[in-house]
Chain A
Amino acid sequence: MEPQKHSLVGRLCGSSISHMRRFLFDVLSAGPIPNHVAFILDGNRRYARKWKLGEGMGHRAGFLSLMSLIKYCYELQIKYISIYAFSIDNFKRKPHEVKCLMDLMLEKIEGMLKERTIVEEYGVRVYFIGDLKLLDDNVRHAAEQAMKATAKNSRSILLICVAYTSTDEIVHAAQESCEQLCDELQALKPSEAPFGKISDELQALKPSGAPFGKISEELHEMVHAAQESSEQLGNELQALKPSGAPFGKINEIAKEKLSGTPFGKVNEIAKKKLSGAPFGKISEIMNGKEEEKPEEKEQGEANGEMQEDKSVEKSKEPSEEEKHEELGKEKQGDFPNGEKLENASEEKQELSNGKLEEKSEEEQKGFVKEMKEVQPNIKLSDIERNMYMGVAPDVDILVRSSGETRLSNFLLWQTWNGLLYSPKALWPEVGLEHLVWAILNFQRAHPLFEKRKKQF
């Protein structure tokens, strides 16, 4: 009978306390309730030293107080809660202490995945914020699982910051914005897409042999034709009808592209491989190009240029064809001859390479200039979108325990319009009264925060 009575009394007390608490929360809810509250869990080690607990016990005590605070926050219907669990600076601590914390985190994440009581009751979605690559594999894996498992919930959101510092977040956001801008620009420029295709085509062409220097200009034209075809018809070099306007531009861009790496690569490949088959293809392509040319000439700009090229090509073509066939024959023949030819072609290639290199440098500079002229327009909204904390709104209250008044690289960006509160209690000692006091102060300052939010 006794124990039952005890538990009955205990339960009555407990339920009356919780009823009083609910009543208090109802009173507080008559005023504005913060949307996002952040906690810096500072003072666990000092608490352990103060009460002479073992090492690591301070963190467990801190975890208990964290759970109860989260419960209170959800009863008050505070939607976003962030906690600063582990900073990148904390990695500098003693290794076994870091390991202890990591083990605790792993244990708690796995526990949460198994039990899911608070998670299910309040519909909590968990995010792990920070540079997760710095964590051990098992912790990271558990974190990702937890994020996936709770992804469907949306009533309240818990953001656990591990391996996080605000400066790292800002740098990461800038990095992501730059990457996105780079991708956007590449998508806009049509010539950049078939870059690999051009090099493939050039490989297929394999322009090796004596008249390299002379062919280079023709190759520009050929590649430009190849590029057009690859853009529109895939790999078939059929008669195309490129519209007049982008003609000159593609020509230009093709020239720039040629000055880049693949051309040099092709040179190498050309040096290495001297097989007969591609020459036939070259002549074929050149024939095909000849057919194309009149059509293009009809439409495009740079008519004068075109005519010149065409005539030059026409005059060169038979001789080149001849030469290619010659080379092919010679290659099939004596090896020494082939070698000699190779050397000769190498010399010519070097000369032409020199010319090309000059040209390529100029053109590269032009390309760089073009990129710079593009005027990167990364906006503040892009940066904010790419922040780790972009999933949550700005912080309304930041609570740092143990009386420290600095932010220690936590949410420096998001607390611009938030109340900073530093109770002197160590983290395991932080309880309901501190939360209530923070909310009361927030409610006092709320009109000013609203005004400032509208301003900026």
Chain B
Amino acid sequence: MLTMVSVRNFLSGSHSKLKFAFSPKILDLDLLNVIMVLHQIQSVILKYGNETQELLKWASRSGNLGLRVLWLILHFAVTIWYFLLGVVQSFESFLIACDILTKYEALDISKVRYLAMVIDSEEAQELSKVFELLQWVADIGVKSVCLYDPEGVLKKNKEPITQRFSSANLSEEAAVNGRLVTRRNLTLEFVSFEDGKEAVAKAANYLFVKHYANGTKEKSDFTEPQMAEALGAIGSGGAEPDLLLIYGPTRCHLGFPAWRLRYTEIVHMGPLKSMSYGSLVKAIFKYTMVHQNYGS
């Protein structure tokens, strides 16, 4: 309405300037009419434009909602699938533990020289479970184990764990599966997140002091053995594990030191709370049957 008034004022103001052949009054009236019609068209378009915009918004929101609902249904289906899978796996490990599936007895443990276990930090707080797991590992015959958890929970509890597994008597024997198995000591190594990335930074500092001390670069570039030596010197060295078992909700190695993870087979065992002896045996057995290519 404001524009109408201003247009009319303008027209009346310029009325005096419109000195043409035809009657100025008729011209004035015609122009005003045209402008009013245009204005009405404009308001109609805006009104419907707004409405269509709102309609589109509603449509997209409901479309999004619809997609979201479909997405939830899809994930529900995936959850059911995993549930069923879990049931089948528990049944299988039950059978293994009861020695019904006998093929896992032919386990050649010497192929697993160094076993590593990545445990989710929250679940690692339950030390009883950790003890149980390590006991199974020792029973299977593994000699050295590397325990990793990102926050270092197991590192903090180093004392009780090592006490439990280093003081086992060598003379104590247990009859397992009809074979006499000597309970051996477990060599344990405790690793946490700092031994991965931070250690590489420290190793770089070590190499700097060693090779750049004269202010200029020595002739050759760093080599991998030099880096390995540097990592060893700062206390984050250690053998590369053959097999890595992940006890956690996700299939992720949670930052295990990258330098040692080159050709390690990685197996996800599920959460610690649902661990079982059978799945452990199965995983180790599968590893020992694997044929490695190593790129060539």
| B250 in contact with A419 (CB, 8 Å) | yes
| B75 lies within 8 A of A444 (CB) | yes
Q: Are B262 and A167 in contact (CB under 8 A)?
A: yes
The answer to whether A440 and B74 touch across the interface, beta carbons within 8 angstroms, is yes
Q: How far is the CA of A106 from the CA of B193 in the complex (A)?
A: 40
Question: Which residues of chain B come closer than 8 Å to A174, judged between CB atoms?
Answer: 200, 203-204, 207, 222, 227
Q: Does A134 contact B (CB under 8 A)?
A: no
Cβ proximity bits A396-422 to B, threshold 8 Å, 1 near / 0 not: 000000001111110011011111110
CB pair B205–A417 under 8 Å, yes or no, is no
The answer to the question of A216 belonging to the interface, with a C-beta cut-off of 8 Å to chain B, is no
**In this assembly, does A354 line the interface, its C-beta being within 8 Å of a C-beta of chain B?**
no
Complex interface: chain B residues within 8 A of A90 (CB): 295-296
Contact A178 B211 (CB under 8 A): yes
Tell me whether A409 and B263 are in contact (CB under 8 A).
Answer: yes
The A interface is mostly helix, strand or loop, or mixed, namely helix
Q: Which B residue's beta carbon lies closest to that of A418?
A: B252
| Interface check A1, CB cutoff 8 A | no
Tell me whether B200 and A170 are in contact (CB under 8 A): yes
Residues of A within 8 A of B91 (CB): none
- Does the CB pair B213–A372 fall under 8 Å? yes
In the assembled complex, how far is the CB of residue A432 from the closest CB belonging to chain B, in whole angstroms? 15
Asked if A108 lies at the interface with its beta carbon under 8 angstroms from chain B, I say no
Instruction: Choose among B67, B200, B264 the residue that contacts A27 (Cβ–Cβ < 8 A).
Output: B67
Stretch of A59-67, A294-302, A323-331, A376-384 on the interface side: A376-384
Chain B residues with Cβ under 8 A from A166's Cβ?
258, 262
Chain A, 400-455, CB within 8 A of any chain B CB:
404-409, 412-413, 415-421, 440-441, 443-445, 448-449, 452, 455
Residues in B164-222 with C-beta less than 8 Å from chain A = 193, 196-198, 200-201, 203-205, 207-209, 211-217, 221-222
Residues 96-115 of A, flagged 1 when their CB comes within 8 A of B and 0 if not, give 00000000000000000000
In the assembled complex, how far is the CB of residue A323 from the closest CB belonging to chain B, in whole angstroms? 36
Residues of A within 8 A of B253 (CB): 415-416, 420
**Size bracket of the A interface:** 35 or more
- Bound together, the chains give a CA A376 to CA B212 distance in angstroms of 10
Q: A445: which B residues are within 8 A, CB to CB?
A: 249-250, 252
Cβ contact within 8 Å between A376 and B209: yes
- Complex interface bits, B245-259 against A, C-beta within 8 A gives 1, otherwise 0: 000011111111011
Q: Is A309 an interface residue (CB 8 A)?
A: no
Residue in A192, A378, A456 whose beta carbon sits within 8 Å of that of B205 in the complex? A378
Contact indicator A382/B201 (Cβ below 8 Å): yes
Chain B residue contacts of A376, Cβ below 8 A: 204-205, 208-209, 212
Measured between C-beta atoms, what is the minimum distance from B12 to chain A in Å? 57
Q: Which residues of B contact A (CB under 8 A)?
A: 64, 67-68, 70-71, 74-75, 78-79, 150-151, 193, 196-198, 200-201, 203-205, 207-209, 211-217, 221-224, 226-227, 249-256, 258-259, 261-268, 293-296
3 closest A-B pairs by beta carbon, nearest first, are A89-B295, A412-B258, A416-B255
